[in-house]
Chain A
Amino acid sequence: MSIMDYIFRQRSKSTANIAKERLQIIVSHERSTRNGPDYLPMLREELIKVIAKYVDIDQDQVKVELERSGNCSILELNITLPDLVTTE
């Protein structure tokens, strides 16, 4: 390795290092959602349909997440409703 290489390396992160950091983040994120049951996306779709019968909601405003804690799982539903205009 030449001295120039060495100096250059000190200043900027190598692309391999950037690759490693990006992989660590995405892989750990994907592992955390991986073990969710297959029905989760379908459950989400149906929930959206039911709610849409009553309120006008944006698809992106419905979050369905399964969290594991100890020996049980918690299904977390987070629905942001639009400003409710009172209907007559």
Chain B
Amino acid sequence: MAKIIVITSGKGGVGKTTTSAAIAAGLAKRGFKTAVVDFDIGLRNLDLIMGCERRVVYDFINVIRGEANLKQALIKDKRIDNLFILPASQTRDKDALTKEGVDQVLQELQTEFDYIICDSPAGIERGAHLAMYFADVAIVVTNPEVSSVRDSDRMLGLLASKSRRAEQGLEPIKEHLLLTRYSLTRVQKGEMLGVDDILEILAIPLLGVIPESQAVLRASNAGVPITLLDELTDAGQAYLDSVARLLGEDIPHRFVKPEKKGFLSRLFKSREETIA
């Protein structure tokens, strides 16, 4: 039966949708049949990041209301096998998403897929609550910045108390920290919280560190998950490593320590970074 993974954060704009697309595509690349579900009802965006916005006919709410079946609403990715997306609805009706409806759709998906990735909206309202409620695994996306870290901690509290697993006294949701938009240069200057600082505060296992990268914008411009870009990018690589860790592989973290290099290349590297 499929594992349900929620991509959550509390705070908005930290990279949940970018991460959902990257991880879903990464899992599909590994051969797992993966569905990525947009829970951001009213503010559908995953379709744009995945590049399938013009193929949306039916959505999540249509399926819940029985206006379409799951097969009609799921969009199959054209670039890679095994990858499907269930778009959010653009309705402004906040009550359209029901717990029973979500449960039913997830159960149906679970019989067909290996992984279900739930892209949570920001905040702690209904959409965010239902995105995490049925999860087996949570990836808490955090930026190295005070408000993001605080909101992540808040989210961890909710995962531990307001989820199905918590309410039914089952084994707790498995939590992972994904640190994104990380800038090693700024950490070294003492301008940005470092990985170790954040791990000390949040105290959950580290899935990966995604560097601040210009490639992320290029990928979203093109509607291609960063892990499917032809060019190999630092952020893409960091996401693929995170997928491998999610699958239980033990891989050293990149982009968290300065690379040991000779004096000359260090000189060039620092010049490169100032230009970037």
A residues lining the B interface (CB < 8 Å): 1, 5, 9, 14-17, 19-20, 22-24, 26-27, 30-31, 34-35
Alpha-carbon distance A23/B187, docked complex (angstroms): 16
Given the complex of chains A and B, what is the CA–CA distance between A23 and B189 in angstroms? 19
A34 to B201, CA, bound (A): 16
Whether A27 contacts B153 in the complex (CB less than 8 A), given A16-B197, A20-B201, A22-B146, comes out as yes
Please classify how large the interface on chain B is, using the bins under 10, 10 to 19, 20 to 34, 35 or more. 10 to 19
User: How far, in angstroms, from A30 to B150 measured CA to CA in the complex?
Assistant: 9
CB of A37 to closest CB in B, whole Å:
11
Closest-CB distance, A65 to chain B (whole angstroms): 18
Whether A20 contacts B197 by the Cβ 8 Å rule is yes
Shortest Cβ gap from B167 to chain A (Å): 13
A23 touches B149 (CB 8 A): yes
CB-CB nearest in chain B for A14? B190
Distance in Å: Cβ of B253 to nearest Cβ of chain A = 19
B122 within 8 A of partner (CB):
no
Q: Which one of B146, B188, B191 contacts A23 once the chains associate, using CB atoms below 8 Å?
A: B146
Collect the chain B residues with CB atoms within 8 Å of residue A31's CB.
Answer: 153, 157
Contact A16 B149 (CB under 8 A): no
B161 to A, closest residue via Cβ: A35
Residues in B with CB closer than 8 Å to A19 are: 145-146, 193, 197
A residues in contact with B145, CB < 8 Å: 19
CA distance A44 to B201 in the complex (A): 31
Question: Considering the complex of A and B, which 3 residue pairs feature the smallest CB-CB distances, nearest first?
Answer: A14-B190, A20-B197, A34-B157
Q: What separation, in Å, do the CA atoms of A69 and B187 have in the docked complex?
A: 40
A residues in contact with B194, CB < 8 Å: 16
> What are 27 A-B pairs with beta-carbon distances under 8 A?
A1-B188, A5-B189, A14-B189, A14-B190, A14-B191, A16-B187, A16-B191, A16-B192, A16-B193, A16-B194, A17-B190, A19-B145, A19-B197, A20-B200, A23-B149, A23-B150, A23-B193, A23-B201, A24-B201, A27-B149, A27-B150, A27-B201, A30-B150, A30-B154, A31-B153, A34-B157, A35-B157
| B202 to A: closest C-beta gap in Å | 8
B192 CB contacts on chain A under 8 angstroms? 16
A24 to B161 CA separation, bound complex (whole angstroms): 21
Task: State A16–B201 Cα separation when bound (angstroms).
Answer: 13
In the assembly, what is the distance between CA of A23 and CA of B150, in Å?
A: 7
Rounded to whole angstroms, the CA-CA distance of A37 and B196 in the bound complex is 32
Chain B: CB-nearest residue to A8: B190
Tell me the bound Cα distance from A26 to B153 in angstroms.
10
